[in-house]
A and B are shown apart, each in its own frame.
Chain A
Amino acid sequence: MLTKRIIPCLDIKDGRTVKGVNFVDLRDAGDPVVLAKQYADLGADELVFLDISATLEERATVLDMVLHVAEQVNIPFTVGGGISNVEHVDALLKCGADKVSINSSAIKRPELINELADKFGSQCVVVAIDAKQIDGKWKVHLAGGSIPTEMDLFDWAKEVEERGAGEILFTSMDHDGTKNGFANNALAKLSDELNIPIIASGGAGNIKHFIDTFKEGKADAALAASVFHFGEIPILKLKQELKKNNIEVRL
């Protein structure tokens, strides 16, 4: 049976991880390659690197980082952040990234999804959607959640699927950072309405939240950052608990 995936997310700037990662026995917690290897050894199913670089020079360094991750890490990884054209994706995939994640650029120019799916295949196109509830309606937001749009989450998700995305990474801005659990109602609705995998993101605080998002939220994968980086939730223990709750995981 296909298992549910656990995905740690690392923020990258200028080829280094930022926001602090506090693992035991790590000589260089800022080195994404060291961290990625550690996560792979600890049982992570996939990794996401989010490039938050501001300048072109920094972005160039990230390509080099992707190459080194691909060299040393034996599980799949996605790179996202600031990707807006076919050439950029081509460069990332050539460096060994398995998938790319696009967000604002897809909202500004939805054809980008078709272009990427046609050229590289749907399997490597993840569309990230940030949304929050305004007057009871889930509205898509741009630019890391800073700019609201009039787009409805579910309409946009449907369009994204039709244009050829292979997967959706949904972050609830209402839940992100709260550690109060994932947006399971919206996630379940996405999972019911769409026929591509949905990654839950935003709100992980404890193990029960993961159990809930796989059961109630019907998510195919769950992504989190700080609870993993600071060792609050050890991945092995998380997966053992999921298994105990009859959720299929790779152990």
Chain B
Amino acid sequence: MKLVIIDYGAGNIKSIQFAFNRLGYDAILSNNPVEIKTADRIIFPGVGEANSAMKKLKESKLDELIPNLKQPVLGICLGMQLMCQYTEEGDTKGLGIFQTNVKRFSNSVKVPQMGWNVIKELKSDLFKGIKENEYMYLVHSFYAEHCNETIAATDYGINYASALQHENFYGVQFHPEKSSVAGEHILNNFLTL
């Protein structure tokens, strides 16, 4: 299996590569369109600020390539948020894959949400073998609003979409690569979708 992690200069992607290594797979870090197009599975990571991440995607024309991919794509954290229509962070237009918007948590809760919270109302094969209310590690200040593409929900001040799916595109707000055994299970599921 050819597994590519899109490397566009946004954040710590080493951890994702290591997580796949632990599962017995080699993952290639690349921003090369040919490498990405010929992959069997693609990870779209992201940590940091949405607007500057989107600029980096545009510089390498990845903003045109990603929405047209046909193989399973998994966006993680900011990666997932950038796959939405729009995010309030830096007033940024997203890739428009998921039919929802990303908003900032209100100050009624501590921002960022940092730590372990549960995912529930699980609705996709991505979560096969994962029990309801499993703990995942999350670090984020912005959240995706629910839509009919929601495949997992989490409560933090408000109930929001902690995972989304549209056709071959999957997005998770949590970090499966940092979420202990259950997180590794989800990554393994992604490889067998």
Contacts and interface: CB of A to CB of B under 8 A. Distances in A.
B112 A3 contact: no
Given A75-B178, A96-B14, A3 B22 contact: no
B33 interface: no
Contacts of B114: 123, 166-167, 197, 220
A11 interface: no
A5 B110 CA distance: 14
A124 interface: yes
Contacts of A121: 11, 47-49
A76 interface: yes
Given A93-B12, A197-B110, A5 B49 contact: no
Contacts of A72: 18, 22
Given A121-B49, A122-B112, A166-B112, A1 B155 contact: yes
B141 A122 contact: yes
Interface of B: 11-12, 14-15, 18-19, 21-22, 47-49, 107, 110-118, 135, 137, 139-141, 155-156, 175, 177-181, 183-184
Contacts of B18: 70-72, 96
A183 to B, nearest CB: 19
12 contacts: A2-B115, A4-B115, A67-B14, A74-B184, A96-B14, A96-B15, A96-B18, A121-B11, A121-B47, A123-B140, A124-B12, A220-B114
Nearest to A4: B115
Given A2-B115, A3-B117, A220-B110, A70 B48 contact: no
Secondary structure class of chain A's binding surface, majority of residues = loop
Nearest to A120: B48
A45 B114 CA distance: 11
A98 B155 contact: no
A40 interface: yes
Nearest to B183: A74
Interface residues of A, number: 35
A3 B12 contact: no
A123 B178 contact: no
B81 to A, nearest CB: 12
A118 B48 CA distance: 8
Query: When A and B form their complex, which 10 residue pairs have the shortest distance between CB atoms, in order from nearest?
Result: A96-B14, A121-B48, A123-B139, A250-B135, A250-B116, A2-B117, A76-B178, A3-B116, A71-B18, A93-B12
A34 B114 CA distance: 25
Given A70-B15, A98-B15, A1 B117 contact: yes
B135 A196 contact: no
Nearest to B179: A74
Interface centre among A4, A93, A221 (most CB of B within 10 A): A93
